[in-house]
Amino acid sequence: DGSELVEANNYVRANQIEPSKEMEGIAEGRNLIVVTLESLQSFAINSEMNGQTITPFLNSLTEDEDTIYFENFYHQTGLGKTSDSEFLLENSLYPLSGGAVFFTHSGNTFNSMAESLGNNGYSTNVQHANTKSFWNRDIMYESMNIDKFYDIESFEIGEGEAVNWGMKDIPFAEQSVEHMTEMQQPFYSRLLTLTNHHPFTLDEEDKLIDEYDSNSGTLNRYFQTSRYLDESIKVLFEDLKEQGLYENSIIVMYGDHYGISENHNEAMSQYLDEEVTDFTSAELQKVPFFVHIPGYGEGYVDDEVGGQIDMRPTIMNLMGIDTSKDIQFGSDLFSEEHEEFVVFRDGRFVTDEVVYAGNVCYDKDTSEPTEQDLCAPYIEQAFTELEYSESIINGDLLRFYDEEDGQLTTIPDVELKQ
Ligand code: GP9
Ligand code: MN
């Protein structure tokens, strides 16, 4: 019942922190471009495969003066894969344990980032060259108040421009920027890439590096499709500059989930040159998170431990939009007060000191099991947090929340003490 909202709200308020003053509004009024880097894991960034660079363009961004790159950032998705990452991004709520929330709760009331930006004068859209009903996106995007969905019908796929799941990322990047030239500014445009998706197949001409040489064809090809994805991001940046959209935009990019599952542990251990333990597997859930602000000038690599749940509060603070009255489970990564505690959808968690996986508490420095006591206090918090988020979704509780004044509205059968 609605009393769960009261409890969840109390929990969120008790854990609320002050966003960074320094970063507040740094991108206010600019266009916001968010790119989902399909299946890209952090192990590919600033690394080589048999002497070949996997992501040269993204690597250059990690050293770029206008980019903050988060190297200890984890995905928190479950069965809903890409769609779960979109859900985390838009709502700063956890996805569900039992299925894709895009399918199970698409009729709910949400307070998405898109809706909030829309209320602040932004036109909002998603661009993705796939069938609109995939992951039930067409329905869910309406619930999240996204103005427009540029689905496969909005793209022209010429000869040789499709591979694997559909349109290749390079022509997709080009046409996405063309669409942006027609959008009402300021806009919030979200791009979902697709080529770096299992089974990671490419046309010969798009293979910019060799395959790897393990017993896993999947991992072997993954390096090549990651390399191709990287190239498409370079094209995206070039085209934004060419169209004069670059300077007045902020570009945020994140990896949505792992591309290489635990079925490929043997091949991964060959690549990493170490045994893949439960500890390693948890650490492999790191995905890249880039915040690129043209003209910023003070870029650096940030080692703050964070997760996808933090994207909404972090971005909204950059856009100068107050989220202190929103129900969010994440917080601003740039804030001094940000807590280094990331809960995975399956209950594993990571702090700056420990990793909890397979019911074992690992010391991050040694990668070895350590005293369970060091993890114990977090085990309950992880559970509580997932529970509160889940109860909000299952009860469609944001129906009873007034976003504007941040107050609980009348909840049947509950007496509100405020
Ligand atoms: C499909 C794309 C990929 O539209 O989002 O889906 P995934 O399998 O990664 O969730
Ligand atoms: Mn995906």
State pLDDT tens for residues 4-30: 889 999 999 999 999 999 999 999 999
State pLDDT tens for residues 103-143: 999 999 999 999 999 999 999 999 999 999 999 999 999 99
- pLDDT of 35 > 80? The answer is yes
State pLDDT tens for residues 309-337: 999 999 999 999 999 999 999 999 999 99
**Ligand 1 center to 83 CA (angstroms):** 7
Contacts 24+ apart (CB under 8 A), 278-281: 278/357, 278/358, 278/360, 278/362, 279/355, 279/357, 279/360, 279/362, 279/367, 279/368, 280/367, 281/357
Which is the catalytic residue, given 62, 82, 277, 280? 82
**Ligand 1 center to 222 CA (angstroms):** 16
Q: Is 82 a catalytic residue?
A: yes
Atom of ligand 1 minimally distant from the CA of 84: 10
Contacts with 182 (C-beta within 8 Å, 6 or more apart), sequence order: none
Atom of ligand 1 minimally distant from the CA of 134: 4
Q: Which residue's CA is the closest to the ligand 1 atom numbered 9?
A: 82
pLDDT computed for residue 402 by the predictor: 87
Contacts with 217 (C-beta within 8 Å, 6 or more apart), sequence order: none
Q: Which residue's CA is the closest to the ligand 1 atom numbered 7?
A: 82
Residues measured by CB to lie within 5 Å of ligand 2, the ion:
38, 81-82, 256
Given pLDDT bands bounded at 50, 70 and 90, which one contains residue 36? very high
ipTM above 0.85, yes or no: yes
Q: Which residue's CA is the closest to the ligand 1 atom numbered 6?
A: 82
Distance separating alpha carbons of residues 235 and 369, to the nearest angstrom: 44
Best residue among 81, 141, 256 to mutate for probing ligand 1, ranked by most atoms within 8 Å of CB: 81
**Ligand 2 center to 37 CA (angstroms):** 8
Atom of ligand 1 minimally distant from the CA of 256: 9
**Ligand 1 center to 81 CA (angstroms):** 7
pTM beyond 0.95: the answer is: yes
pLDDT computed for residue 21 by the predictor: 98
Distance separating alpha carbons of residues 319 and 207, to the nearest angstrom: 38
Q: Which residue's CA is the closest to the ligand 1 atom numbered 5?
A: 82
Distance separating alpha carbons of residues 174 and 160, to the nearest angstrom: 15
Best residue among 38, 39, 196, 225 to mutate for probing ligand 1, ranked by most atoms within 8 Å of CB: 38
**Ligand 2 center to 197 CA (angstroms):** 7
Average pLDDT over the chain, rounded to whole? 96
Start-to-end C-alpha separation, the chain: 18
Q: Are residues 79 and 94 in contact, defined by beta-carbon separation less than 8 angstroms?
A: no
Q: Indicate the helix (H) or strand (E) that contains 35.
A: strand 31-37
Return the axis-axis angle of helices 217-242 and 265-272, rounded to nearest 10°: 70
pLDDT computed for residue 418 by the predictor: 45
Atom of ligand 1 minimally distant from the CA of 165: 1
